[in-house]
Chain A
Amino acid sequence: MAQSAQPVKKRKIKGDGAWGYAFIAVALIVYALFTAYPVISAFLISFQEYKPLGSTYIGFDNYTATFKDDLFWKSIKNTLVYTVLTVPVALLLSFLVAIMILPLRKKLQTVFKAVYYLPVVASGVALSLVWLWIFDPMPGGIFNQFIGWFGAHNQNWLGSSATAMFSLVIMAWLSSHGASIIIYLAALLGIDDSYYEAADLDGASFLQKLWHIVIPSLKPTTLFLLVTAIIGSFQVFQNAYLMTGGGPDHATTMVGLLIFDNAFKYFEFGKAAAQSLILALIIALVSLFQFKFLGKDVDY
């Protein structure tokens, strides 16, 4: 999306157009069948009142109903709050961890990478049971014991509007960086040593090297992680679904969960399709914005 938008400075190999098409052929076929076709289908459905035995076209009703729906806007707001609170923090943590792992001895590196990767490995469904216990509202819950040491009162973490969203955010902070740490590390290892050598000759400090070499070199990676993390966050639904079901009083109803509910709980598939296309548009605009402002000086 960004590439076509930016002036193409970099060189590309010429005269291999046919190879280019051949190389992307499988990807395109898979995409057309299993992504594009369902999306088009959903697009058509968004103008219908969906019934398995024959839908009826209702024009833009699903869209107008969505725009008038307070719950939809509330869910957008919740999603934004969640995204703003989780994505930057999680990304920064991943970056810091990757940087900190880098100077360690090989053995230690391996250990830490494994350790941080571990949480991603275990299934979300099984782990959500553990998280439910951590947030157990009774005094025996882990978090309640923890804050009890500081003299704080028992909190009804997931059960009260004041803390439910915060609980999900904490969960994201502590469990969502295995993949980004690995991607960051791989990118860090890809930075050419000669840059550092040159900087060392100039007597650059650690922070200067970090600022002038590492951060610019990692920009494509950061952009990738940021875009995919924000997309993921906008579509997030599993944690809310497993932990709070969107409650209490819709305090944690994310738009992804709302769409899921509309599609699979209330059978309003037309409405769900319309809402997800609106969401897709929002995500596209946000991504475009990121590419425009962050991808500007990315040197490929």
Chain B
Amino acid sequence: MTKLKFLPGIILFLLFSISLSGQAHALKWGEIPPEHLRMTSYEGDTSASAIILQDYGKLNFDFRDTDPKTVLVRHKRIKILKRSGFDYGDVSITYYSEKGYEAIRGLKATIFNPDGSSKKLGKKDFFEEKIDDKWTKIKFTFPDLQAGSVIEYTYQKSSKAIFSLPEWYFQHEIPVFWSEYELFVPKWYTYVTMKQGRFAITSQNWVQDNFAVSQGNAFQGRGMGNVSLEVNHMRFAASMLPALKEEGFITTMDDYRTRVRMQLSGTNFSSYKPVMGDWKTSAKRLMEDLSFGVPLTKESDFRDALKAVKPLVADVTDVREKTQIIYDFVNKNIEWDGDYYPYIHDRLKDCYTKKSAASGELNLLLIALLKSNGITAYPMMLSTRTNGKMTNIYPILSQFNHTMAYVKIGEQWLILDAGDDSRPMGMPRINALNSMGWLVHPANPRWVEIKAQKGSSVYLADFEIDEEGVLIGEIKEMHKGYNAANSRDDLDAGNCQKKISEGFTKLFPDAEVSEVKVEALNQRDKPFTYSANLNIPDLAHSTGEFIYISPVLIKAFKENPFKMKNRQYPVDMPYPNSERYIFKLELPEDYVVEELPETMRIKMPDGAASFHFEVKQVGSFLQLTSSVSFNKLRYEPEEYASLQNFVDLIIEKQSEQIVLKLED
């Protein structure tokens, strides 16, 4: 039973006496309770521009065609509260239309207005748009939309995808008052259920006899028409879910969205037969798959690439060196096309002829080339950060969107992830830092931890200052790990010097930049180092008597990235990061130190992050050291305030000034 307080002017929901007793959903098509029409704001979130009153889905199986299908009847009802919620009056339904794999039928839509009027949409109000060869979108908008309108629509979506049933999202960008997903699964199929999210989903499950299932020629011999069958009736429901608002520094919002997924684990036609199997059978099957394992050892599938590699490795015996050459070859010759895909789209050799390939294709070609050259390499599948968390409980391959190479060099195993030439071997792309990957080893498949390498940067600033307040000196930067890869990406070859110079000019608009020097731009295994001479006229202010200097030329944060007061979801950083700034200043003649910032040393609990700031005078020099380091990757909402505060303290400290005074 959902309890609600009654507040004047705000509507009370009595309709949802949800006992979960297996009754059909409470809201009938076309019957809008007057209180829903009168409602002007939603108690649970008065800022909501619209709310989903009900989102109901009922899934049945249909066996009348050759391929069994699922049919999902969806009934959605939305209350528009404000003009800013009018966007929810524009609806689009996307489905996989290629070869009738999915289809939409029985689309109905009606709008009800507070004055009691209602309008039903006609056939010509629904627009069908072919997105590409595979996908189609149906779009429509409600006429006479007003603040106060209740809109509802229903449709049936059939799908031949019975391995994974349609996923159900309980949470949306606007609050959801009631969301329910009901499934009637014939006893022939067994599914595993995965629930996720911060909000409770009530679930129920019971077996119902003599349930009519539509069937036909798929089970010839049993005749056409309905047949009674035992079904597993499952029901998931959740109520009063808050709006899901996008937050930064996160893997993907889908990781936190309340939802339920179902995956086929077995069939029970005459006796139980596992479909999902286990990780081991999945690995075996993958290695026998024409778009995954088979081409890896079929040299005719990548002959051209192999032919091009051969002369490069002809005289090389060292495994590491050979691996490096092949890794470079793939990176230099084939561009990542920007798509994530864990398998081979078409043929491995197309990657080389087209000079462009999806993420998994690149690495599968890399593995094939390594293997042909006698190097041990296996595919490692994973879901990237933006694609979402993985489960290792069930062998669900559809969760993966990327494949990397796991390569043995001597006694060491390295992850190789081709796709751009700024990362050395052993450094997967940042999006792949999603804690683990599944090694597709035919004999011993297993989950392998993906440990993020650290990023680190050191800035050495060596300056003197004249009595006008002009700073003259040199800044030298040294970047390692992911920081090096990122800098190399930003400053890549050719215009590197110019880009560095522009970068400094952006930071110090009036500065003169000269003598830009770059080291190890292309040696990805080495730290990336560059330096420049700078003449900065406007960072210190001189009154003659006093000189005020902002000594931190390169700040850890320009502004606090954590601006919001509160946070609902964790902050998730991809890799640990640290930076150290060392500033050396030669004091001008006749000036003495009047004021120096005090030393500061702070740590977040458990050493999650730390900051150290210190300035001291050494003879005629001032020396400032500022180090920031983030060691922990994930900060829970409860830790958010202290993380925010930590960054504030750094910003504040790094903006403190040094005061010099003319000697009397």
Do A and B come together as binding partners?
no
- CB within 8 Å of A: which residues of B? none
- CB within 8 Å of B: which residues of A? none
